[in-house]
Structure formats: structure tokens, C-alpha cells
Amino acid sequence: MSMTRRGLMAATAAAPVLMCVADARAQGIAPRRGGTLTTILQPEPPVLQIGVNNQGPTLIAAGKIFQGLIKFSPKLEPMPELAESWSLSDDKLTYTFKLRQNVKFHDGRPMTAEDVIFSVTKFHPEVAPRARAIFSRIDKAEAPDAHTVALTLKAPFEPFLLMFDVTACAIVPKHLFDGQDFRTAPAVQRPIGTGPFKFAEWQRGNFIRLERFEDYWKPGQPYLDAIIYRIVPDSQSRRLALETGQVMMTAAGDIEPFDVPAMRARPNLEVWTDGWEYFSPLSWIETNHRVPALADVRVRQAISRAINRDFIAQRLWFGVGKPATNPIASTTRFHDANVKLPGFDPRAAAQLLDAAGLRANAQGVRTTIKHLVLPYGEIWTRLSEYLRQSLRQVGINLELESTDAGSWARRIGAWEYETSINFVYQFGDPTLGVERTYVSSNIQKVTFTNTGGYSNPRVDALFATAREAQTAEERRAAFSEVQKILVEEVPQIWLMEMAFPTIHDKKVQNPVQLGTGVHASYDDVFLTA
């Protein structure tokens, strides 16, 4: 890759709206209409209705069928999608969205303010926990006319707009859901959205086919006739499918990181690692503070210093993603680049363990900690094996336990673990995706809450300040302070700012344009001849 996307972004940062016409057209390639994009989806989603299911693969495929009011650039600037424009009242309470006039659902019915209000106030709050938490802050939802929506909040909420991406709040047709059980309505099996592609066929275990929606609101688009998602369960078979040209593109976790260098070396393929800025998954050693050794801040600091994050990023992930420096990923808003975890230093780690009173026995073991391996593929097993090696160097015996996805989720949710690996989406803003792991009000027996049980009143107060503050500046101050405290106390031991490789044949144009990458609608993706 001669020029990274990030470099290109810097060049065009002054004109965010122009970014969607970046790569291909900047290189002078005119969009070509026609052709079918073949790619892979893994694991197979249970249903394609966003909201009813919000797994990664569901969001990728259904992101072509549904759309949100706005979408986000890699720098998380909002850009128009179903809303042409939007404004915020001076009291920071009322968000007014002007909707596009000519948008139709795939069943031919027009999309209006009624559908938007239904999606925001009824559909998503009923089925999706994240939408429930945020949209409950809405006091009034009104439609002054058929193409205007005014949402008035009970109190100002600065990150509100981030909730209107298709992956968080897809606009669904009110007439197909109203008055029914949203999870079992027939439309869940035949999803109807406003997106550039409509659902055509799904042979379970085999493929999902989406077809061009002829009445799409952008004239002449989408360029592709169809997108076919093949379901290929084995990672080596996926790699072969890409290498032999049986599919044109892979995304997310399709290709294992250790296979990425070989893909980079192939002249017909291109590898992106950006397009995940909106999600910014951060991985960490999940620590349960109810385990006496792990409740001691010195032990957590020692573990953190005994790990070489550069090694993990370069030798395990082969440069896909980068070392974490603090609890907020560098691509998430309010990341403070000046707050950094102390570096790799096994001797300092040993001193910290000495100070914590953990002395080595005759075998050189200070303490034994159990570790639940994340059952999401071989790369995670390799990571846990590396951690065992590194911690053994400082006298901590990490005892690995294998499990499957069902047991893992149950045991994390029930606090039945000592350490594990977890990675969590940050959704662009610490209030949306970081706070939940550290505030004591969110200590729950449910996955992706503060399952570790960390509790610090000062941290609680700072997150609350940042949540309620009206301006970005006030929020930034609170988040900077919280990052300092968390880096000092390492309640979770952060490892990597993760990214996932999007690998595609060079004839595929524009596959990664937004901060949501392959989750975008793909109305501007085309194939060169």
C-alpha cells in the first residue's frame, strides 16, 4: 500500500464531506455499474434484523439493508445519511433532524418521520440494551412535519449523535413492526430497510445474497448488482477462498492475524486495518477484583509491567492493531495522549510483587492465578500462552483453562473467573463504551458490565461529570483525570487497540471509507473491469 488511508485523511481533514469520494475517484477511476461482490461472513448471523441481533456479522451484512440517520468519518465527524442536516438548540436539549425527501423502504413505502420516531423511541429501546440506556434520556419525540424529527432530551447529552449510526439505530419500517412482538415479527425473517441493497436469498450454512434496490434514494447507485456473503466456518478455508479468488474480499475476523503478512505479500490483494475507529475495540486481561491477589493494585501493576505489548502487537497480531496506552483507545474521542501506561519492565514488576508480599517459593512461584482462555479463535489461545510465559518470568503461575463461547459468557457474567481476556467496543465516546467497565453503579452479573468489581468513588464522580457536562471541553477535563487514575490503578490490564484486517482484490473500490469500515452501506463500492 503506497499511501495509508490515515495519510489521505489528514490531507482532506478540512473537508469531511469530500471524504466519501476519496480513494478511487481521487485516483481518477470512474465508478463502473454492475458486477457482484463476493465476500465472507463469519460466524453466520442468526437473523439479519439489526436491533433484534447486534452481533458483528449481523451488523456488517444488515448495514447494507438498513441505514441510520447519520454516518461517521474515521475521525468520528458526523456525515449525512438518511438525515440531510441536523441542528442542536442553544439549550443543548433539542436535536432537530431534517430527513431526505425521497427515501423508500424496500417494500415501496416512503420513509418518514414516523418511522424514525418509532425506531428511536419504540423499536430499539425494546430490543437492544445499549439503545435502551441512551434513548431513555429522550423526553419528547416530535414530528413537526413528515420529514423533520425533533428529539428533546431531559438533560444535555453531548455524545448523543453517535447513537444514530446504522449499527446503533437502524431506521426500521413502523408499518411492519408496530403492534407486534418485535423479536418475532415476520419482517425479522425478511428484513426491509432503506439501504442500497435488499435482502434476496439466504441458504443457511451456505450464503446470503443481497440485491441492488432499484428505488434507492441516490440516483444511479448502488453500483454493484449484488453482494454475496459466503459462510465459511474454517479460517484456513477462508484464507484459501481469498487466495484462489473464490471470494474478492474478507473482513473482521475472517483472516487470522498470523495469515495477514502472507496476504500483504500478494500483489493482487490490498490490506486495510482502518475502518474500526467508530468501534475502537480495546482488549485487556479481564481481572476479577474479588480474587485477593488481584485486588492489590501492586499485583495488577506488576502484571501490566511484565507484559511486552509491542511483542503482542508485532509478533502475535503482525501489526494489525497497536499497543494500548490507556483505557481509552487513541481513535476514541477524549483519548489523552499524555497519559500512558508505564512500559515493559519485568524487574519493576518483580519489585512490585515483593512489595505486595508475594514471595517466591522453592519453584520460583509467587502465586497461581487461573486464566480463562477467550474461545474466539486460535489467536486468543496464542495470546494466553504468551501471557503465561511472560508472567512465569516474574513468578506468577498462570493456569490456563479452555472453554467454549457459551461457557465463557456465562462464567464472566456470573463472576466465576480469576482472569480472562476480553475485548470491548468503545463506540466512539468513553461515556458510551468505556464508563460501563469501571463505574461501581454498573457492577452487575451480566457480561460487558463492570464484572471485575472495580470501585473508586472518584472515578464514579468523574465519569458522571463527563456524562452530564454540556461541552466537550468540560468532558475532556474529566476524562483526562479519569485516565490518569485508571492508568495508576489498572483495574483492567489493557493490551491492544485492536483492528481487523479488511483484505480485498484490487478491483474492489472504496471498501473502507468510514469510521465504521465494512459496516457502511456500500452504495459507493464498485468493481473495476
Partner 1 sequence: MDPSLLPGFLLRRVAKAAIVVLAIVVCNFFLIHAAPGDPASVIAGQSGAADERFIAQLREQFGLDRPLLVQLWIYVKGVLTLDLGFSHRQQVGVATLILERLPATLLLTGAAFLFAVGLGVTLGALAAGRVGRWADSLITVLALTFYATPIFWVGLMLVLVFSVWLEWLPSFGMMTVGADITGLARVPDVAKHLLLPALTLGLFYMAVYARLTRATMLEVADQDFVKTARAKGVPEGQVVRKHVLRNALLPVITFAGIQAGQLIGGSILVETVFAWPGIGRLAFEALLARDYPVLMGVFFVTSVMVVVFNLVTDLLYAVIDPRVEVSG
Binding site for partner 1 (CB under 8 A): 36, 38, 43-44, 46-47, 53-56, 128-130, 132-133, 183-184, 188-189, 203-207, 209, 226, 228, 230-234, 236-237, 240-241, 243-244, 246, 404-413, 424-425, 436, 444-449
Least Å from the CB of residue 132 to partner 1: 7
Question: Minimal distance in Å, beta carbon 8 to partner 1?
Answer: 29
> What are 209's strand-pairing partners?
201, 228
For residue 451, give the C-alpha cell.
464484572
Q: Which CB atom, from 187 or from 341, has the smaller least distance to partner 1? A: 187
Our CB check for partner 1 shows the closer of 128 and 499 to be 128
Residue whose CB is less far from partner 1, 28 or 186: 186
CB of residue 293 to partner 1, shortest distance in Å: 25
3-state SS, one letter per residue, for 328-378: CCCCCCCCCCCCCCCCCCHHHHHHHHHHCCCCCCCCCCCEEEEEECCCCCH
Question: Cα(81)–Cα(174) distance, rounded to whole angstroms?
Answer: 19
Spatial separation of the C-alpha atoms in residues 229 and 231, rounded to whole Å: 6
Tell the smallest beta-carbon distance from residue 98 to partner 1 (Å).
29
Residue 250's Cβ-side half-sphere holds a number of Cα atoms within 13 Å equal to 32
Q: Which CB, 130 or 467, lies closer to partner 1?
A: 130
Pairing of strands 367-372, 396-401: parallel
First-to-final CA distance of the chain: 20
Whichever of 211 and 481 has its CB closer to partner 1, that residue is 211
Nearer to partner 1, 102 or 206 (CB): 206
Least distance CB 514 / partner 1 (angstroms): 19
Closest separation between CB of residue 233 and partner 1, Å?
5
Q: How far apart are CA 272 and CA 285, in angstroms?
A: 26
Quickly count: other Cβ atoms within 10 Å of residue 299's Cβ: 26
Q: Which is nearer to partner 1, 243 or 385 (CB)?
A: 243
Q: Choose between 188 and 396: whose C-beta lies nearer to partner 1.
A: 188
The H helix count followed by the E strand count for the chain is 19, 21
Least separation, in Å, of the C-beta of 403 and partner 1?
Answer: 8
CA–CA separation, 16 and 285 (whole Å)? 36
What is the rounded CA–CA span in Å between residue 290 and residue 417?
10
Dist CA 465 CA 448 (whole Å) = 22
Alpha-carbon span 188 to 90, nearest angstrom: 39
**Complex with partner 1: residue 131 or 271, whichever CB lies closer:** 131
Q: Are 486 and 459 in contact (CB under 8 A)?
A: yes
The torsion angles phi and psi of 97, rounded to 5 degrees, stand at -105, 130
Whole-angstrom Cα Rg for the chain? 23
> Closest approach of Cβ 349 to partner 1, in Å?
31
Q: Indicate the SS3 state at residue 321.
A: coil
Grid cell listed for 181 = 412482538
CB of 341 to partner 1, least distance (A): 24
**Which residue's CB is nearer to partner 1, number 53 or number 273?**
53
**Sign, CA torsion 504/510/516/519:** negative
Question: What is the smallest separation between the CB atom of 264 and partner 1, expressed in angstroms?
Answer: 19
What minimum distance in Å lies between the beta carbon of 373 and partner 1? Answer: 15
Check: CB of residue 146 under 8 Å from CB of residue 113: yes
> Which residue matches cell numbers 491477589?
293
Q: Which CB, 26 or 240, lies closer to partner 1?
A: 240
